[in-house]
């Protein structure tokens, strides 16, 4: 195996024997093979699409499969193999559709488009072959750009899946994902053309996040300022983690009146901000912190845990029998809730029945945290915010969105938040907020110094807020705003957030705790020269740099 798609990759270079995330080498290779199959399908669907062929099965298969290969999503090799077999059949189907529509098969088809397999040993052999691997592209700059594009597409796939689950689609997103996958097999593309594709990926990242924002808000209402309890009650509970709000809705509906309380964990915390969920009296609070603390927090929760998307980590035997997965998530030996069929909701009855037999969760903390500062809510406070900026009460905003992780170096973000001057505001989204959202940082004229917009996809809200402030202050450049970007990253959804910001013209972004291992020196140089991207050093030193003193 060789994997360097996440921030915690071994030695900052790449995992070669076992993923830091916990995936085995054979699982990693099989995930690479699934992406390889997606490239082959895309080679046929791109020209077929130009002839008017729209294959819904292919569209859904591609975004669903890409999502499965994101870090900490699916550890079930059987599920990945099932997907690969399905993909091989779909490839032949779309190839036939292309020919039937009068298309001509592309010349010099790459191996990913022609390869077939019928038995599992053939899959194992192919998964271990060099042409499937991440390092198959010899030129390190081409390899860097191809993989950055693929990781951006994985991020888009996650947002597309959530939108799809709520009945919202944008087929231009499907077309670009397929175009991008096919482009990673095209040896005629120049470095400049690949750079343009990567930045175009940022454009579609903005569109994907806008689509999901629309899906979430039209379905559940605009997030509003909300105090969320972080203590526990005496009832048995279900802990729901991940990002999928449709799963959240169906679990709340099915558990109502059962005597079971529902708690959020990790990236599901922002579900509390949506008006539609506030009617459920048994939706009682948030339990715990970011994804990487699962082992200790899941053990203490006592009740069942439902993982709706990433980030699942290898569970301990002490609570493994209480974990359920659904959707794209999978882990060998863990119970899986099947997908919806014929428009019917998922069946969470087994989760609820288990919860009834469990003791209440052990309390690990008390108090409240405040969130719900998505773009609609912040813009409702625009006059107050603008006045605070004009009066000098607010000197600067710091966008500290992104991911959390288990490395000690991430204590930097807690220290950074603590040491920021009292006349600054933190804008955040994603699980990075768990590094500082429980600190007593106060407020500025009633405006909390930490404004939590929600999940990682709600980084879109932060972009909308910035663009609105640019308009209000009559600026011709978003980079003239008193906003600095100090973003933590971990996995591929953070990659698409970064590319989206670059597409919007944001410069001077600092990324940490380390720069991505998949960036070659020359690609890093391009990003530095074009966008002035930088890393992080020490909290106090970086604050002085951001403030220009």
Pairing of strands 396-399, 483-488: parallel
User: Cα 502–507–513 angle (5° rounding)?
Assistant: 85
Residue pLDDT, tens place only, 313-367: 999 999 999 999 999 999 999 999 999 999 999 999 999 999 999 999 999 999 9
120, exposed or middle or buried, with CB in 10 Å at 0-12, 13-18, 19+?
A: exposed
The Cα 223–Cα 229 span in angstroms is 17
Q: Which residue has the tokens 């699982």?
A: 27
CATH of domain 389-547: 3.40.50.2030
Asked if the domains at 1-136 and 389-547 fall in one CATH topology, the answer is no
pLDDT for position 226: 97
The Cα 319–Cα 460 span in angstroms is 35
What's the mean pLDDT when you consider all of the chain? 96
Domain 226-356 has CATH 3.40.50.2030: yes
Residue pLDDT, tens place only, 15-40: 999 999 999 999 999 999 999 999 99
The Cα 435–Cα 413 span in angstroms is 6
Q: Tell whether the torsion through CA atoms of 326, 262, 246 and 401 is positive or negative.
A: negative
* Three-state SS at 23: coil
Q: Could you state, in order of their start, the residue ranges of all structural domains in the chain? A: 1-136, 226-356, 389-547
Residue pLDDT, tens place only, 377-422: 999 998 999 999 999 999 999 999 999 999 999 999 999 999 999 9
Strands, E, within 114-236: which ranges? 226-229
Q: Is the pLDDT of residue 442 over 80?
A: yes
Give the alpha-carbon dihedral of 267, 490, 66, 132, to 10 degrees: -160
Q: Which residues contact 246 (CB under 8 A, 6 or more apart)?
A: 162, 165, 166
* Three-state SS at 448: strand
Q: Which residues contact 121 (CB under 8 A, 6 or more apart)?
A: none
pTM as predicted: 0.97
Domain 1-136 has CATH 1.20.1630.10: no
* Three-state SS at 118: coil
Task: State both tokens at 122.
Answer: 């053939």
- How many residues does the structure list for the chain? 549
Strand partners, 336: 325
Within 13 A of 126's CA, how many CA atoms are on the CB side? 24
């Amino acid at each position: 195996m060789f994997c360097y798609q996440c921030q915690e990759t071994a030695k900052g270079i790449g995992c070669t024997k076992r993923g830091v995330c916990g995936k085995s080498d054979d699982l990693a290779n099989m995930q690479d093979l699934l992406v390889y199959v997606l490239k082959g399908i895309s080679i046929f669907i791109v020209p077929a699409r130009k002839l008017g062929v729209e294959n819904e099965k292919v569209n859904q298969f591609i975004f669903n499969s890409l999502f499965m290969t994101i870090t900490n999503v699916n550890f079930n090799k059987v599920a990945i193999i099932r997907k690969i077999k399905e993909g091989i059949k779909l490839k032949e189907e779309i190839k036939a559709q292309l020919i039937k529509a009068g298309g001509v098969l592309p010349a010099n088809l790459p191996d990913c488009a022609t390869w077939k397999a019928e038995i599992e040993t053939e899959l194992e052999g192919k998964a271990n072959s060099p042409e499937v691997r991440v390092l198959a592209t010899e030129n390190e700059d081409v390899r860097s750009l191809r993989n950055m594009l693929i990781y951006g597409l994985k991020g888009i796939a996650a947002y597309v899946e959530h939108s799809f689950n709520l009945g919202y689609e944008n087929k231009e997103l499907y077309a670009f994902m397929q175009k991008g996958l096919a482009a990673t097999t095209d040896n005629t593309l120049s470095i400049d053309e690949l750079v343009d594709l990567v930045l175009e990926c940022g454009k579609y990242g903005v569109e994907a996040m806008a689509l999901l924002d629309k899906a979430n808000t039209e379905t559940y209402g605009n997030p509003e300022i909300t105090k969320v309890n972080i203590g526990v009650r005496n009832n048995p509970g279900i802990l729901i983690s991940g990002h999928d709000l449709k799963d959240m809705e169906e679990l709340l509906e099915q558990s109502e009146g059962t005597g079971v309380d529902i708690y959020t964990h990790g990236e599901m915390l922002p579900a509390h901000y949506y008006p539609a969920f506030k009617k459920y009296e048994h939706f009682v609070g948030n339990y715990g912190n970011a994804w990487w603390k699962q082992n200790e927090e899941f053990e203490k929760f006592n009740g069942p845990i439902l993982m709706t998307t990433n980030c699942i980590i290898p569970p301990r035997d002490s609570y493994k029998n209480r974990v359920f997965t659904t959707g794209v998530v999978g882990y060998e030996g863990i119970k899986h809730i099947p997908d919806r069929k014929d428009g019917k909701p998922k069946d969470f009855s087994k989760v609820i029945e288990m919860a009834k037999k469990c003791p209440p969760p052990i309390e690990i903390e008390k108090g409240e945290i405040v969130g719900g500062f998505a773009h609609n809510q912040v813009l409702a406070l625009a006059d107050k915010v603008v006045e605070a900026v004009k009066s000098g009460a607010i000197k600067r905003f710091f966008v500290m969105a992104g991911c959390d992780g288990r490395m000690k170096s991430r204590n930097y973000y807690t220290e950074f938040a603590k040491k920021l001057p009292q006349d600054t505001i933190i804008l955040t989204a994603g699980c990075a907020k768990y590094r500082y959202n429980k600190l007593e940082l106060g407020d500025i004229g009633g405006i909390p110094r930490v404004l939590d917009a929600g999940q990682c996809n709600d980084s879109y809200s932060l972009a909308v807020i910035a663009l609105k402030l640019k308009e209000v202050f009559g600026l011709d450049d978003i980079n003239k705003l008193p906003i600095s970007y100090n973003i933590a990253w971990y996995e591929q959804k953070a990659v698409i957030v970064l590319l989206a910001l670059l597409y919007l013209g944001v410069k001077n972004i600092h990324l940490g705790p380390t720069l991505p291992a998949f960036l070659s020196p020359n690609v890093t140089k391009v990003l530095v020269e074009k966008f002035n991207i930088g890393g992080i050093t020490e909290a106090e030193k970086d604050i002085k740099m951001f403030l220009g003193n």
